């Protein structure tokens, strides 16, 4: 990693600079040729499974549909649901896998060479059209397959937890607040994310340095509960009507002699007692 990158991050953020010094040099494997269909199919297989189970399913897919090689989009589309289910894919994952194959053949999912020519946001917009593929999955592809230098996966639990640990926060940072803070790390946010992942390793080892300074994250506007119940006019209508009724009652009391209230009627219990004794 270029020392200028680490110098930029350290000067832009004192806490991150301390983390960089504690972790040491940035180590991320050099990206190889990217095959989007294969990468995304593997991502679908790994969803909600541990690595061993997912790799077993992928091996069955290779053996049953690809005759020893990773299957092509055509082979996945031609494979029956029963065959994919027998490999270990759930019904939802079968639907996602077939949608990925169809969108690859339709060039919604481009090949590796075409993908390299697109911007990060264009890639995210294209690939998240596939069923079962979200922004986080595409961000991992951008970082580890394409080697894009300025990706910050703010929805990633490890990144958020690492930020919380490194910066000494009481609670988890909101993704939008983390995104706003990460603006200072541009154009090297991938490197910053890698160091935040390492922060959790240092915390488990008991070697995480104390933050160089205390920070206050930008405030994030949250939807009020009242805003979810309906339009503003509907929310304001009833409280205003009640206030108007109270105001009329106050004016009526003030207009009565000595501003006194009208005597209250006797409670029902007393009336019943009086009838019995009478």
Kindly state whether residues 155 and 140 are assigned to the same domain. Answer: no
CB 73 within 8 A of CB 105: yes
Q: Is 20 in the same domain as 55?
A: no
Cα separation, 192 vs 16, whole angstroms: 8
Q: Is 229 helix (H, G, I), strand (E, B) or coil?
A: helix
Active site residues: 156
Q: Would you say 137 and 175 are in contact if contact means Cβ atoms under 8 Å apart?
A: no
Q: CA 69 to CA 98: how far, in whole Å?
A: 18
**What pLDDT was estimated at residue 234?**
45
* Domain count along the chain: 2
Looking at the fold, whether 103 and 132 belong to one and the same domain comes out as yes
Domain range enclosing 162:
3-28+151-205
pTM over 0.85: no
Q: Are residues 51 and 135 in the same domain?
A: yes
The full length of the chain comes to: 278
Please, are residues 186 and 150 in contact by the beta-carbon 8 Å criterion? yes
Tens-level pLDDT at each residue, the chain (278 residues) = 578 899 999 999 999 999 999 999 988 877 778 899 999 999 999 998 899 999 999 999 999 998 889 999 999 999 999 999 999 999 999 999 999 999 999 999 999 999 999 999 999 999 999 999 999 999 999 999 999 999 999 999 999 999 999 999 999 999 999 999 999 999 999 999 999 999 999 999 999 999 999 998 988 776 555 445 555 544 455 556 677 777 777 677 766 655 445 444 455 555 455 445 44
């Amino acid at each position: 990693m270029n020392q200028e990158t680490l110098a930029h991050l350290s000067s832009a953020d004192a806490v991150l600079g301390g983390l960089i010094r504690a972790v040491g040099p940035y180590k991320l494997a050099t990206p190889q040729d990217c095959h989007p269909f294969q990468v995304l199919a593997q991502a679908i297989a790994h969803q909600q499974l541990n690595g061993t189970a997912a790799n077993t399913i992928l091996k069955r897919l290779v053996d049953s549909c690809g005759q020893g090689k990773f299957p092509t989009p055509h082979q996945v589309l031609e494979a029956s649901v029963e065959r994919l289910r027998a490999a270990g894919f759930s019904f939802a994952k079968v639907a996602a896998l077939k949608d990925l194959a169809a969108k690859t053949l339709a060039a919604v999912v481009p090949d590796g060479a075409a993908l390299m020519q697109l911007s990060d946001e264009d890639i995210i917009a294209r690939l998240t059209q596939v069923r079962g593929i979200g922004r986080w999955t595409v961000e991992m592809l951008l970082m580890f397959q394409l080697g894009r230098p300025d990706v910050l996966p703010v929805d990633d639990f490890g990144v958020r937890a690492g930020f919380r640990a490194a910066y000494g926060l009481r609670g988890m940072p909101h993704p939008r607040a983390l995104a706003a803070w990460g603006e200072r790390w541009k154009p090297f946010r991938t490197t910053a994310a890698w160091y935040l992942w390492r922060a959790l390793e240092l915390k488990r080892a008991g070697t995480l340095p104390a933050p160089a300074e205390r920070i206050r994250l930008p405030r994030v506007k949250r939807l009020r509960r009242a805003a979810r119940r309906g339009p503003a006019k509907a929310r304001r209508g009833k409280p205003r009507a009640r206030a108007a009724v109270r105001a009329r009652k106050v004016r009526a009391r003030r207009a009565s002699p000595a501003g006194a209230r009208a005597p209250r009627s006797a409670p029902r219990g007393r009336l019943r007692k009086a009838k019995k004794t009478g």
